Amino acid sequence: MKWELKMVDYKIADESLAEKGREALYIAEIKMPVTAKVIRERFSKEKPLKGIKVAGCLHITKETGNLVRTLKAGGAEVYLCGSNPLSTQDDVAAALIEEQINVFAWHGNTTEEFYWCIRQCLKAKPNILIDDGADMIVTAHKEFPELIESGTIIGCQEETTTGVKRFRAMEKKGVLKVPLFPVNDARCKNQFDNELGTGQGVIAAIYGMHILFAGKTVVIAGYGHCSSGMALRARGLGAHVIVTEVDPIKALQAKFAGYEVMPILKALSRADILLTATGCKHVIPPNPEIFETFKDGVILGNLGHFDIEIPTKELYSYAKEVRTIRKDVEELTFPSGKKVYLLAQGRLANLVLSEGHPSEVMDMSFALQSLVSEYMVKNREKLKPGIIEIPKEIDDRVGLLKLESMGVEIDHLTEEQYNYIHGYEEGT
Ligand code: NAI
C-alpha cells in the first residue's frame, strides 16, 4: 500500500479513515448505475480521457468519489479539492487517495487553507476544471493565467447555479477566458439534483435539531429549483409553509401551489424554521432590530451556495453567547435573552449536517460531468472561450440511460409526428 500512496500527492485529515470511506463509496456506487457502471465500463475500455489531467473543486462526498473514479477509469489523472470548507467527508477523501486520486481537502479548513488546496490542484497544470461555485476557475483566471493563455486548460464545467451566475457575469464583462459548460443548466441536472436533492435537504434540517416539521411554520426563501423542492417536502411533512420571493412569476407559482406568499420582513416573526436557497445575499437583512423579530427558538438553515443568505457574520457579532449544542448546530443567545439555532454556520445545511444529495440524483449530474469531459476532449480544437450550453444529445443520453437503468421505457416520435411538431402547414 505505502508504495502506491507515494504516487499520489495529497493532504487530507486522516488516512486511517479509508475503510469507512470505501464503504461509503460502495453505497453510492450501487445507486449510481449510469455514472459508476454504464459510463465507467465504457470509459475503462475506450479511455477517452487518456493523457488528460482533470481538477475538480467539488463537495467531497461518496458520490463525487464515484465521479472521479469514472474519470480515472477513462484514463484521466485526477486532482481534487473541496468546494466548501465544511462539506468534505474525510473518510471518502482517505479512500480516494488509495485509488490514486490526488486529494487536497479536509473538513473544517480555513479560508486560507481552502485556497491553498485549490492552488495545489492548479499547480498540477490541469486540462479540464470541474467547479462547484466558481472558486477554482476564478482563481485560475487571477493567479494561473498561463494555464489559460497556453491552452493547457481546454475547457471547464460548473456544477451549481451560483457558479453559473458568476460565470455569466464574467462573460458579460468580457473577462471569461475559458470555454465554460454550465452543467447546472442541463435539464438532467437542475430538475433533479436541485429540486429533489436540495428538496430532500429539509431532512438534514430535521437531523440538525431533531424536530418535528408537522405543526410548525416553515418559511422558505425562494421558489426556484431548490427552494420549491424544499417547500413541497416541508409541506409533505405536515408544516405550514410560507414562501418569500423577488420574482413575480415564481411568487405566483408558489401562490397557486397553495403556499402563503409574503415579504420576508412579514414572514420572519412567524417562522419556527427558516430555510434559504436563493443564491442571493442577506435574504434576512443584517440588522439586529430585525433579528429581534425572530420567534424565540427559531431554527435558521441555509441551503444556498454561500454563507451570506442568512447574515451569519452579523448574527455572530450580535449574539452575546454562541454555544455549540451538537455537531454543526449552534445556539446563539441575543442580548434580550432570545435564542436562535443556526445550522452549519449558515453553510449548505444538507451537505454539512447530512451527506448531501442522495446518490440516485447525483448519478445524473455526474453522468453529465463525465460525458461533457469526454465531449471537451473530442472537440477540443473547436472550443472557444465563453459559455457553451450543454449539447442536448448529452442531456437526452443521460436521461435515457437513467430510465434504462430503472427499467422504464418511453415512446419515440415517428417521422410523421416529428415533421408535424417541427412544421407549420397542418392546422385546423
Ligand atoms: P434558482 O435560480 O432556480 O432559484 C432561486 C430563487 O430565489 C429564484 O426564484 C429567485 O427569484 C429567488 N430569490 C433570489 N433572491 C431572493 C431574495 N432575496 N428573496 C427571496 N427569493 C429570492 O436557483 P437554484 O437552482 O434553486 O439555486 C439556489 C441556490 O442553491 C444557489 O446558490 C445554488 O448554487 C444552490 N444550490 C445548492 C445545492 C445544495 O446542495 N444545497 C444544490 C444546488 C444548488
Over the stretch 163-187, which tens digit does the pLDDT of each residue have? 999 999 999 999 999 999 999 999 9
Q: For ligand 1, say whether the CB of 303 is within 6 Å of any of its atoms.
A: yes
Distance (Å, whole) CA 36 – CA 71: 10
How many angstroms is it from 304 CA to the middle of ligand 1?
A: 6
Average pLDDT along the chain: 96
Question: Cell 460502495 maps to which residue?
Answer: 26
| Per-residue model confidence (pLDDT) at position 423 | 96
Distance (Å, whole) CA 216 – CA 109: 35
Percent of the chain with pLDDT over 90: 96
Confidence of residue 7 (pLDDT cuts 50, 70, 90): confident
Show the cell assigned to 142.
487571477
Residue 293: other Cβ atoms inside 10 A: 16
Q: Which tens digits make up the pLDDT trace of 185-217?
A: 999 999 999 999 999 999 999 989 999 999 999
CATH architecture type of domain 2-191+357-405: 3-Layer(aba) Sandwich (3.40)
Confidence of residue 1 (pLDDT cuts 50, 70, 90): very low
Percent of the chain with pLDDT over 70: 99
Q: For ligand 1, say whether the CB of 361 is within 6 Å of any of its atoms.
A: no
Of 213, 218, 283, 222, give the one whose Cα is nearest residue 254: 222
Tell me the β-bridge partners of 260.
242
Q: For ligand 1, say whether the CB of 189 is within 6 Å of any of its atoms.
A: no
How many angstroms is it from 347 CA to the middle of ligand 1?
A: 14
Q: Select from 63, 200, 278 the residue to mutate for testing ligand 1; criterion: most ligand atoms less than 8 Å from CB.
A: 278
Q: For ligand 1, say whether the CB of 217 is within 6 Å of any of its atoms.
A: no
Distance (Å, whole) CA 315 – CA 360: 36
Q: For ligand 1, say whether the CB of 305 is within 6 Å of any of its atoms.
A: yes
Distance (Å, whole) CA 149 – CA 162: 26
pLDDT at 220 over 60: yes
CATH architecture type of domain 201-353: 3-Layer(aba) Sandwich (3.40)
Q: For ligand 1, say whether the CB of 161 is within 6 Å of any of its atoms.
A: yes
Distance (Å, whole) CA 373 – CA 131: 12
Tell me the β-bridge partners of 322.
332
Q: Select from 87, 194, 351 the residue to mutate for testing ligand 1; criterion: most ligand atoms less than 8 Å from CB.
A: 194
Q: Which tens digits make up the pLDDT trace of 91-113?
A: 999 999 999 999 999 999 999 99
Kindly report the protein residue whose alpha carbon is nearest to atom 31 of ligand 1.
279
Question: Cell 457574520 maps to which residue?
Answer: 313
Distance (Å, whole) CA 142 – CA 115: 12
- Cβ–Cβ < 8 Å for 368, 399: no
| Per-residue model confidence (pLDDT) at position 6 | 54
Of 21, 127, 120, 28, give the one whose Cα is nearest residue 80: 120
The closest-lying atom of ligand 1 relative to the alpha carbon of residue 59 is 40
Q: Which residues contact 249 (CB under 8 A, 6 or more apart)?
A: none
How many angstroms is it from 276 CA to the middle of ligand 1?
A: 8
**3-class DSSP state of 355:** coil
Residue 290: other Cβ atoms inside 10 A: 16
Confidence of residue 2 (pLDDT cuts 50, 70, 90): very low
Distance (Å, whole) CA 364 – CA 35: 7
Secondary structure E strands in 269-394: 273-276, 299-302, 321-326, 329-333, 339-343, 386-387
Of 15, 7, 8, give the one whose Cα is nearest residue 95: 15
Alpha carbons within 13 angstroms on the beta-carbon side of residue 362 total 27
Name the packing angle between helices 18-29 and 359-378 (round to 10°). Answer: 90
Distance (Å, whole) CA 140 – CA 134: 10
Q: Which tens digits make up the pLDDT trace of 332-390?
A: 999 999 999 999 999 999 999 999 999 999 999 999 999 999 999 999 999 999 999 99
Going by their DSSP bridges, the two strands 260-261 and 77-82 should be labelled as unpaired
Q: How many H-runs (helices) and E-runs (strands) does the chain carry?
A: 22, 15
Instruction: Compute the chain's Rg from CA coordinates.
Output: 22
2-191+357-405 against 201-353: fold identical: yes
How many angstroms is it from 277 CA to the middle of ligand 1?
A: 4
Q: For ligand 1, say whether the CB of 354 is within 6 Å of any of its atoms.
A: no
| Per-residue model confidence (pLDDT) at position 420 | 96
How many angstroms is it from 258 CA to the middle of ligand 1?
A: 20
Show the cell assigned to 52.
488528460
Per-domain boundaries in the chain: 2-191+357-405, 201-353
Q: Sign (positive/negative) of CA torsion 421, 425, 426, 428?
A: positive
Average pLDDT over residues 139-152: 98
pLDDT at 3 over 50: no
**3-class DSSP state of 327:** coil
Q: Select from 160, 165, 166, 243 the residue to mutate for testing ligand 1; criterion: most ligand atoms less than 8 Å from CB.
A: 160
Q: Select from 58, 164, 226 the residue to mutate for testing ligand 1; criterion: most ligand atoms less than 8 Å from CB.
A: 226
Question: Cell 417547500 maps to which residue?
Answer: 231
Cα angle value 124/385/182 (rounded, 5°): 80
